[in-house]
Structure 1
Amino acid sequence: MPELQRLRADHAPALLAFELENRGYFAKSVPDRGDLYFAEFDVRHAALLAEQDAGTCHFHVLVDGDGAVLGRVNLVDVAEGEAELGYRIAEGAAGRGLATGAVRQLCGVAGAEYGLTALRAATSAGNAGSRAVLARAGFVVVGEAVVDGGGVEVRYRREGLGG
């Protein structure tokens, strides 16, 4: 059974492998991170841990029993009791309910451990899978916006995180 874990320094090798193995898959629905992200991964990982230590973000990985990363579920821009939710699941793990389960679990953690009262999320209008995950995890549509490139982004919100 996969386990949601708070990001640690020792997750770096498995997280880099996850990002590299799924780079093409992720680029189909979100902008590619670019070559520099991978070339400077260790520096970026250390910066994420520093943000987490400062309390401005809370990063999590979904790992299997062997320690391989199956997904990421993150809370960024923490302020005034709210944060922005972001997540990605490996191509080989997609369609098994892992994203929905991890997002639901993180909603509970956000309230109970981080003291948050609401989360925001956004996805492209054409990303039916991500939209379904958010709906199943209790998020409601609060609006839409046109983003760079002319695409439509659907925005969500969830309150009552259950602390």
Structure 2
Amino acid sequence: MMDIKLEKLQHADANKLYEFELENKAYFEKMVPSRGDDYYHLEIFIKNHEALLDEQAKGRSCFYLIKDENDILLGRMNLVDIYKSQHMGHIGYRVGEAYTGKGVAHTALKLFLSMVSKQGIKQILAKTTTNNIASQRVLEKNGFTCMETDDKAFEMNGQLFKFVYYKWNM
């Protein structure tokens, strides 16, 4: 298993994160709905990056990069829609294709849960797609419980999928 760390997203990360997202676009879009072609135009990506940093500065979200001991970007982990009064938020994460199957997501999520629980977050909601078994396992190994699977299916890459919803309580 790799030594990994989580680093809070910063302005200086924009280009490295853009390259990571571009490099893994096709892989990610096999598992989750596309972010749309506009997302991958550098100019728009930079604007979105600045908006994320603004959201983070206001305490509504926390964005982290998953890196190895050599500062190689392996993935990202985000806590969004933070409701401080309710001590909760929604998590999302993605690990680059070259780093899957190595325990990166499991270890990063474990680190993340430890970090956010110290910040007063007591409940985290997550969702994944029915075809993303690896993500379901990562959530379950880290103490998330499956709440439900959507009744409605959506089409992605010519196939029908549903969202699966999870919850973690401290």
| Structure 2 length-normalised TM | 0.89
Counterparts of 1:41 and 1:55, CA distance in 2: 21
Which amino acid is the alignment partner of residue 71 of structure 2?
Answer: G
Which amino acid is the alignment partner of residue 110 of structure 2?
Answer: R
Counterparts of 2:70 and 2:109, CA distance in 1: 21
* Residue in structure 1 matched with residue 136 of structure 2 by the alignment: 131
Q: Which runs of 4+ in 1 moved over 6 A?
A: none
Counterparts of 1:63 and 1:96, CA distance in 2: 13
How many residues get paired? 159
Q: Alpha carbon RMSD of aligned pairs, Å?
A: 1.3
Which amino acid is the alignment partner of residue 76 of structure 2?
Answer: R
Question: Which sections of structure 2, spanning at least 5 residues, go unmatched?
Answer: none
Counterparts of 1:125 and 1:148, CA distance in 2: 11
1:114-129 aligned at under 5 Å gives the runs 115-129=120-134
Which amino acid is the alignment partner of residue 155 of structure 1?
Answer: Y
* Residue in structure 2 matched with residue 48 of structure 1 by the alignment: 52
Counterparts of 1:106 and 1:64, CA distance in 2: 15
1:79-118 aligned at under 5 Å gives the runs 79=83, 80-113=86-119, 115-118=120-123
Question: Which sections of structure 1, spanning at least 5 residues, go unmatched?
Answer: none
Counterparts of 1:65 and 1:101, CA distance in 2: 14
* Deviation of 1:59 (Å): 0.5
* Residue in structure 2 matched with residue 7 of structure 1 by the alignment: 9
Which amino acid is the alignment partner of residue 27 of structure 2?
Answer: Y
Counterparts of 1:68 and 1:93, CA distance in 2: 11
